[in-house]
Amino acid sequence: MIRTLLAFLSLCLPALGYASCDGPSQFDSLPIEERAVLREKAHTAPFSQGLLWQIEKGGVRSFIVGTMHLPHPAHARTLDALAPLMHTTETLFLELSTPDEAAFMKELTADSSLYLITEGPSLIDRLGDEIWQKLNRELKVRGIPGVVAAQYQPWFLGLTLSVAPCALKALQSGELGLDRMVENAALERGLAIRSLDTPESMIALFTSESIETQTDDLRIAIDAGLLKETNTEALIKHYLEEETRLAWGFSVHQSLKRARENGVVGMENQLAKMEQDMLNNRNIAWAGVLKDALSQSPATVAVGALHLPGNNGLLAVLNDAGFKVTRLEFAAE
């Protein structure tokens, strides 16, 4: 379940917003030596820095941009840099297009057994009073009624809780994240829009574990203190600085640190599994589509920034498939 609790992190680059999320970076509060170690480790990964990339093979030139799903003023700069590049492409690939996202929600809500506990005890009884009270405190911070949340399957509750309280206002305002801004720009230019995920694949990804397994993992996450959102400002800063792998490394570092402080063991394996399921496996599946598509005609690809860096990142997979991968710099402001 750590994969479901942190699903939003993997899909976009974390529960990000702005307004009240703007503040001192938690990363900057670490000792200098600790920060240096995390930076060095992050920078050993291929394509560890950068949001905008050119992908070329056989004379066909495409572009990839790492996104953040929630609104931020800096998206305007990114879109300004991307717009002239999009003019040279024919197709936009997204994780899920707006119609496919709507189809995902329709399919999900059509069958309550996919996201609600429809048989047996609620989470109150499954978790026990002590753990439930810890969870309920976090629910109150987010304005989620406990009586409602008690009927959520843990994966769905984890996805709900993964949005930082400071980001909720921006999310609820109707403002657009970078993905949707890029999608709208592509529609204005008449580009074809394609999804790399499908509604069915996403539902299968989130609902593959039993309620019992989900509950056990939720209990571990609560005991480890992972529901206490404290990294958002750092993650925003890392995104704006194009430090995509460091954003991931710092998140993992903080999760493991909280787990140790709370006496929870085995978190390394849980996080590694989450990375494999939410990032690496999807990268491989996406690359299977993109390797053919980007060899035939120019396209723009807009996916969550955490999917780009690393040995199993989308850029490395495409590089291994014979594409020339070049980082593009944003114009100085």
Write out the two tokens for 184: 């709208």
For residues 169-174, give the mean pLDDT: 68
User: 299-304 and 60-67 as β-strands: parallel, antiparallel, unpaired?
Assistant: parallel
Cβ-proximal residues to 106 (8 Å cutoff; 6+ apart), any chain: none
Nearest CA to 328 out of 20, 65, 26 is that of 65
Write out the two tokens for 231: 């990294």
Secondary structure (DSSP) of 11-50 = HHSSS---GGG-S--TGGGS-HHHHHHHHHHHHTSTT-S-
pLDDT-derived band at 230 (thresholds 50, 70, 90) equals low
Residue 185 has pLDDT above 60, yes or no: yes
Taking the complete model, does pTM exceed 0.85, yes or no?
yes
- Distance in angstroms (rounded) separating the CA atoms of residues 124 and 129: 7
- Distance in angstroms (rounded) separating the CA atoms of residues 237 and 244: 10
Nearest CA to 4 out of 136, 162, 140 is that of 162
Give the DSSP letter of residue 332.
P
pLDDT-derived band at 8 (thresholds 50, 70, 90) equals very low
> CB–CB of 108/316 below 8 Å?
no
- Distance in angstroms (rounded) separating the CA atoms of residues 152 and 223: 19
Q: Interior CA angle at 46 toward 44 and 47, to 5°? A: 120
Cβ-proximal residues to 309 (8 Å cutoff; 6+ apart), any chain: 45, 46, 47, 48, 49, 244, 245, 248, 315
pLDDT tens profile 58-92 = 999 999 999 988 788 899 999 999 999 999 999 99
Give the C-alpha distances (Å, rounded to integers) separating 29 from 23, 24, 33, 35, 39: 12, 8, 11, 9, 14
For residues 224-231, give the mean pLDDT: 70
Residue 122 has pLDDT above 50, yes or no: yes
* Average of per-residue pLDDT values in the chain: 87
CA dihedral 65→68→71→76, nearest 10 degrees, is -20
> CB–CB of 290/82 below 8 Å?
no
Q: What is the pLDDT of residue 89?
A: 98
pLDDT tens profile 299-315 = 999 999 999 999 999 99
Stronger pLDDT, 171 or 259, i.e. the higher one: 259
For residues 46-63, give the mean pLDDT: 98
Q: What is the pLDDT of residue 175?
A: 78
Give the C-alpha distances (Å, rounded to integers) separating 268 from 8, 115, 256, 260, 303: 19, 27, 7, 11, 26
Q: What is the pLDDT of residue 229?
A: 57
Residue 66 pairs in a beta bridge with 303
62: phi then psi, degrees, rounded to nearest 5: -130, 175
Radius of gyration for the chain, computed over Cα atoms and rounded to the nearest angstrom: 20
What percent of the chain stands above pLDDT 90? 62
Write out the two tokens for 54: 């050119």
Residue 88 three-state SS: coil
- Which region among 197-206, 216-225, 310-319 has the lowest average model confidence (pLDDT)? 216-225
